[in-house]
Amino acid sequence: MIDLSGKVALVTGGSRGIGLAISEALAGCGAAVAINYKENDEAAGQAAGKLEGMGARCALARGDVSDAEDVQRVVDEALEAFGKIDILVNNAGFNRDALILRMSLDDWDEVIDTNLKSAFLCAKAVLRTMMRQHWGRIINIGSVSGLAGNAGQANYAAAKAGLIGFTKAVAREMGSRSITANLVAPGLVITELTKDIPRRLVEEALQRIVLGRLGKPEDVGAAVAFLASDEASYITGQVLVVDGGLGM
Ligand code: NDP
């Protein structure tokens, strides 16, 4: 069984959807969890209640991960609450889909900033503390869109593909400090982010999913908990695809 007792995790976008399942998975393995979120205080309060109900230590840190000052404050708050950060999960993300010819520069910039720049800002803010303790886990949440591309998601696919290169660069820079960096690429998981995908497209995806069902947030949470563990200490710079065989 994965044992993360004594470890502290910061999960960006950890209050809802996949991020909440990641927070629950890490807490279930014994980690204290600092949950970052952008603005939905109610969802964040409920997430904290769930973790505390599991007997986990939990702190909330509101802030926009695409903003450097907010990120520093979020990391400072997590450090204040728990004294260290061992595990960073860069999960916060959103999409603003449009075909390239109709995609505005703002749509491009906001999606790149929230999904990609954020990972750089958060990693930069936590790496010193991980280097001091000679132990760390950086786990970035990508997407199958970043592997195969997706019509209507040029911004999102570019951001998620960029995260793969970023993950490998972090792995190379930090390997000598026993800090690993990996990326988990989920397939289709129904959350707020994906709830408006037309039923026809969901059915089409289902036809291609080898395991015959959509992904659950917990599927991603379990993969993240494994990569955060000591059992995964010899795995770095990798992409772990959690898509039921969709993109195989
Ligand atoms: P949700 O929309 O359900 O949840 C998003 C979470 O991120 C919320 O906690 C939200 O906080 C937070 N968030 C959004 N923007 C910011 C920001 N700028 N700063 C801080 N927090 C922010 O998304 P999902 O759970 O579906 O997605 C989670 C991750 O998984 C994303 O990176 C997504 O790209 C990826 N993914 C999702 C897939 C899916 O099928 N759902 C498939 C592949 C990848 P608040 O509630 O306060 O707004």
Gap between the Cα atoms of 229 and 29, Å rounded: 9
CA–centroid distance, residue 20 to ligand 1 (Å)? 10
Gap between the Cα atoms of 248 and 187, Å rounded: 11
Q: What is the reported pLDDT for 30?
A: 98
Report residue 11: phi and psi, to 5°: -115, 115
The helix/strand/coil state of 91 is: coil
For the record, the structure tokens of 213 come out as 């069902």
Q: What is the reported pLDDT for 80?
A: 98
Contact (Cβ atoms closer than 8 angstroms) between residue 26 and residue 2: no
The pocket around ligand 1, CB under 6 angstroms, is made up of: 12-13, 15-19, 36-40, 43, 64-66, 91-94, 114, 141, 143, 186, 188-189, 191-194
Q: What is the reported pLDDT for 199?
A: 92
Q: What is the reported pLDDT for 238?
A: 98
pLDDT tens by residue, the chain, 248 residues:
899 999 999 999 999 999 999 999 999 999 999 999 999 999 999 999 999 999 999 999 999 999 999 999 999 999 999 999 999 999 999 999 999 999 999 999 999 999 999 999 999 999 999 999 999 999 999 999 999 999 999 999 999 999 999 999 999 999 999 999 999 999 999 899 898 899 999 999 999 999 999 999 999 999 999 999 999 999 999 999 999 999 99
**Does 37 qualify as catalytic in the annotation?**
no
Q: What is the reported pLDDT for 112?
A: 98
Q: What is the reported pLDDT for 200?
A: 94
Q: What is the reported pLDDT for 248?
A: 92
Q: What is the reported pLDDT for 88?
A: 99
Task: Give, using CA atoms, the residue closest to atom 41 of ligand 1.
Answer: 189
| Model-wide pTM > 0.95 | yes
Contact (Cβ atoms closer than 8 angstroms) between residue 123 and residue 90: yes
CA–centroid distance, residue 235 to ligand 1 (Å)? 25
For the record, the structure tokens of 231 come out as 């059992």
Gap between the Cα atoms of 199 and 177, Å rounded: 47
